[in-house]
Structure 1
């Protein structure tokens, strides 16, 4: 396995080459870490270069997207910024002497989202806050699914809220729906798009033109929300990522919010 850097349409991209006797064809895989080229053991450097040239536009497009995501991620983390229903908030916290019920754990004060937690759990602030988001997601998404399904006159099974890294939603052959809790951080129109997307899978378990036509009949501008989710979805909850605390030396990085009364959110 060899690692090098190549300039691909003015982008400096790390390239890893992996050869194996078991492989019969050449494939490419791109991630935020770089480009992975996999192929047969007898794959030559010239063949690798040719294959990359043929895919330059595809590589450049995805690498640019990863670069923008990395920039937005760094900015969101630096500003300690989080979103709820698409609105940005600065995180703050107050420490209490006893445990705080999950539904009472957060209140909003201007442009701040204030987390209330037991003093002994200060180092677990991410877990405490994520539990509140999960609670909100179970309340909000289940209700919204029921409202939209009733409007569309369609029947579904169960609704499950999950902690998923790559999927925003899914629909099983048994008509059970699953959604990512992070959707409550998104604008309501984006949340509705994902719900409609999965409800349309109740009739079309694929992504055929017939499926997208069904989505378009309900949300004519669905492409706008689909693209927005692809470009901005991940940055909305970066501060709750497990690796956010790297370099923080275990300290709570959020500013303390003192002297403010609790204003409860809707349960």
Structure 2
């Protein structure tokens, strides 16, 4: 049986109000509290018979632990004029050029954005999504050809729990935030999901297919373990 969402409450940690996502797990035996590093929120899971108020009191008693864990979260980087954002691992500075009338484009280490300042965050985000789709699509088709398969639809999402997925029908889904990672990391994730077109598992046969598609598997895997959560702080 799956988690049942109970909505979101706010919890005070020192002078800070932190969102807490509450969920009921029918097989849980105790209250669990964890920090979602990707979104900067808390997840409070309750077993049957424990009320939301009791769960929130439990969370409120964990001030020292929460203070320490929240302090470890990477600092958010809003999409704003002057902010530095990586594109395929290379830092670019967002530059607002309100009168340029060219949309969004990259040049000389900058992401240049025309139009009104109020639209800048959305325009940067949309631009990065388009770049992610372009880079991923350009890699997926030839890799699928190498394993004798054809992929289905490619979907670009903003997922917090996984970088990519492959459905039983061969449809591929990826996080747009891969465009922020180094090129070899994006290439690895695309190869990983394309390999599922042959092997819908993580067996030795699956990893043998991945090894056919990409020379270095361990380096990008290690990068994602160490730095993947930091990509969630942008925008």
Query: TM-score w.r.t. structure 1 length?
Result: 0.60
Flag the 1:86–1:29 CA change in 2: closer, same or farther, 3 A: same
CA contact (8 A) 1:83 1:236 kept: no
Q: CA separation in 1, counterparts of 2:217 and 2:68?
A: 23
Q: CA separation in 2, counterparts of 1:232 and 1:213?
A: 25
Unpaired runs of at least 5, structure 2: 1-10, 14-19, 51-64
Secondary structure of the corresponding residue to residue 96 of structure 1: coil
Correspondence for 1:81? 84
Deviations 1:102-145 (A, max 9, x none): xxx22322xx4232211xx3112111111211222222211111
Correspondence for 1:91? 94
- 1:1-267 pair list within 5 angstroms: 25-26=29-30, 28-32=32-36, 36=44, 38-39=46-47, 41=49, 68=72, 70=73, 72-74=74-76, 76=77, 80-96=83-99, 99-101=101-103, 105-109=104-108, 112-118=109-115, 121-219=116-214, 221-236=216-231, 238-240=233-235
Q: CA separation in 2, counterparts of 1:239 and 1:117?
A: 20
Unpaired runs of at least 5, structure 1: 6-15, 43-59, 241-267
Q: CA separation in 2, counterparts of 1:222 and 1:238?
A: 25
Aligned length, in residue pairs: 201
Deviations 1:35-69 (A, max 9, x none): 74644659xxxxxxxxxxxxxxxxx9xx999754x
Secondary structure of the corresponding residue to residue 96 of structure 2: strand
CA contact (8 A) 1:100 1:116 kept: yes
Query: TM-score w.r.t. structure 2 length?
Result: 0.67
From the two aligned structures, give the one with the greater helix fraction: 1
